[in-house]
Amino acid sequence: MPEIVKGFIILACIFIPLERILSLHKQKIFRLGWATDATYFFTGHFIGRSGAIVVSVILSLMTNFLNPELQSKVASQPVWLQLAEAVIVSDMAYYIAHRLLHEVPWLWQFHAVHHSIEHMDWLAAVRVHPCEQLFTQVCKIMPLYWLGFTKESLVVYALYSAAIAFLIHSNIQLKIGILKWFVATPQFHHWHHSKIPGINTKNFAVQLPLLDLLFGTMYMPAKKMPHKYGISDSIPAGYVGQMFYPFSRMMKNAR
């Protein structure tokens, strides 16, 4: 059985029961758009590999900007310390990239596909247009390669990053006390998908909520959660339609 299929089954076996036991909203397992997001899961796996190749190519063209001494110092640290640093560095880069996706009109056309989700669950995490996926992956991973993090630490970080991505989109109630400033949760990220005008421009970080607190973009009420998700834009429901949506939208705006 291919690894990607095994991964899908493992994640389903973890999150589907959790979303039944700790459900935030009552909704069906095979909710509207489930098949589309399942398609994203399998295609995104291969696009993710392409992102790693793009990062390698960019770094090969930037050898004059690499600092072997700095890379050696970073690589000599324990894996746990590299992981903590990777979360900070990578999420800072993602925070900037994420804000650009919201604030630059043509980038928003790609990111709007992700925000078209109207039913949040673990599988909603993968509804990301390939162009956005490549853009954010390069932004997140390139600083880590440039700084010289070891392969071991990058593997651990990749697993942690993926787990957090599925967690924050999941239909789960999860309260973790003071850790909520250091570990992203559904209670933090669901507000970013809220249909309430202005709220989806809050909570740009995906791993370290403290960044939003520092930059004044935090919105996480203690006793409330959003009940409606999505955007007012009319986004096609199917995978193929969503692939072409950003380009058709930009052409329409250009005319």
Spacing of C-alpha 13 from chain mean position: 21
Q: Which helix (H) or strand (E) holds 11?
A: helix 3-21
Both tokens of residue 123? 């599988």
What tens digit of pLDDT does each residue of 210-241 get? 999 999 999 999 889 999 999 988 899 999 99
Is-contact 121 170, C-beta < 8 A?
A: yes
pLDDT digits (tens, 9 = 90+) for 150-168: 999 999 999 999 999 999 9
In angstroms, the CA 90 to CA 139 distance is 8
Secondary structure of 19-53 in HEC code, one letter for each residue: HHHCECCCCCCCCCCHHHHHHHHHHHHHHHHHHHH
> What's this model's pTM, rounded to 2 decimal places?
0.93
Residue 254: pLDDT over 90: no
What's the pLDDT at 237?
A: 92
Token digits of residue 101 = 């996706």
pLDDT of residue 98 exceeding 80, the answer is: yes
Do residues 52 and 202 lie in contact, with contact meaning Cβ atoms separated by under 8 Å?
Answer: no
The radius of gyration of the chain's CA atoms, rounded to the nearest angstrom, is 18
DSSP 192: G
Spatial contact of 175 and 214, defined as CB atoms under 8 Å apart: no
Tell me what pLDDT residue 108 has. 96
Of the listed ranges 10-14, 18-22, 43-47, 108-112, the least confidently predicted one is: 43-47
pLDDT band at residue 56 using 50, 70 and 90 as cut-offs: confident
Contacts of 61 (CB under 8 A, 6+ apart): none
Could you tell me the pLDDT band of residue 255, with boundaries at 50, 70 and 90?
A: confident
Q: How many CB atoms lie within 10 A of CB 238?
A: 11
DSSP states along 128-188: --HHHHHHHHHHHHHHHHHHT--HHHHHHHHHHHHHHHHHHHSSB----GGGGGTS--HHH
Residue 53, pLDDT above cutoff 80: no
Going by the DSSP 8-state scheme, the letter that residue 24 receives in this structure is S
Amino acid 252: pLDDT: 81
pLDDT at 250: 87
* Closest to 165 measured CA to CA, from 204, 119, 126: 126
Q: Give residue 253's pLDDT.
A: 78
pLDDT of residue 1: 63
The mean pLDDT of the chain is 92
